[in-house]
Amino acid sequence: PIYLPLINNDPAQPVEAYFEHVDWVLDALAQRDMVAGLLPTWGDKVHPKWGEGPIIFTEDNARTYGEYVGRRYADRENVVWILGGDRPAVDAEEGGKDFRPIWRAMAAGIKSGGSDQLMGYHPRGFDRTSPTLHHEDWLDFNAIQSSHSKPDQPSWTFIEEDYALEPVKPTIEMESCYEDIPVDFKPDNRRFNAYDVRKQAYRPVF
C-alpha cells in the first residue's frame, strides 16, 4: 500500500506506517555503510514556487513536526538533516518573502527532539545557502546547487566565495546536472551525459 506521511496534511498527525518504512530504509542504508540525507519535508510544503504543494507548515506546527522526527531519529548515526528542498529561504523574486522563521522552527524542533546530527539546507537551482543562511546557528554547512541549466556551470565560484566567509563552514555541491535529462529541461537541447556529470562533481572539490 501507498502511505502518505501525515493524516489530513496535519504535521501533528504523522502516519506510523509511513515512518516505519523510513526506519526500514535507514536500516538498509546502515547495513551498507551508507548515510542518508534526510529531508523532513520537500520545499513546496513551505513555499510552493513550483511544485504541487499544498502549503502545510507554519512556525508552530513545523516545530512540533521537527520534534517528532528529531526524537524518532535522534540515535541514527547515518543521518544528515537537509532542510529546504529546492527552494529559496528568502525569495527575492517575491519581494524578499522570508521563509526562514519556518525553517528555524523546524530545525529547533529537530534539535529539541534530541537529534544532534549535521544539518544543512537544499537551495534552489544555481543558488547557494550562504547569502541568507550562513549565520543561522542551526546550519552546520553551506550548500550550492549548480543545477541543470547548462553543462559548465561555474560552481567553483560559489565554493570560493563561501570559503571566504566568516565563520568558515564546510560547503558542498548538493545538486548538479543529472545524466540523460535535457539541458535546461528543454527537449530540443542535447541531454547531459556521464562526462558532464563527472565534471560537475569534481569541479567543486578541486
CA distances from 61 to 65, 82, 90, 127, 165 (A): 6, 18, 20, 28, 33
pLDDT at 1 over 90: no
Is the bond into 40 cis (omega within 30 degrees of 0)?
A: no
- The secondary element (H helix, E strand) that includes residue 163 is helix 155-163
Sign of the C-alpha dihedral, residues 101, 80, 135, 144?
negative
Start-to-end C-alpha separation, the chain: 45
What is the tens place of the pLDDT at every residue in 81-133?
Answer: 999 999 999 999 999 999 999 999 999 999 999 999 999 999 999 999 999 99
Mean pLDDT across 15-40: 97
What is the tens place of the pLDDT at every residue in 52-81?
Answer: 889 999 999 999 999 999 999 999 999 999
Query: Long-range contacts: 95-99, Cβ < 8 Å, 24+?
Result: 97/47, 99/46, 99/47
DSSP state of 13: S
Q: Among residues 194, 185, 90, which one has the least CA distance to residue 133?
A: 90
With cell 540515535, the residue in question is 75
What is the tens place of the pLDDT at every residue in 153-185?
Answer: 999 999 999 999 999 999 999 999 999 999 999
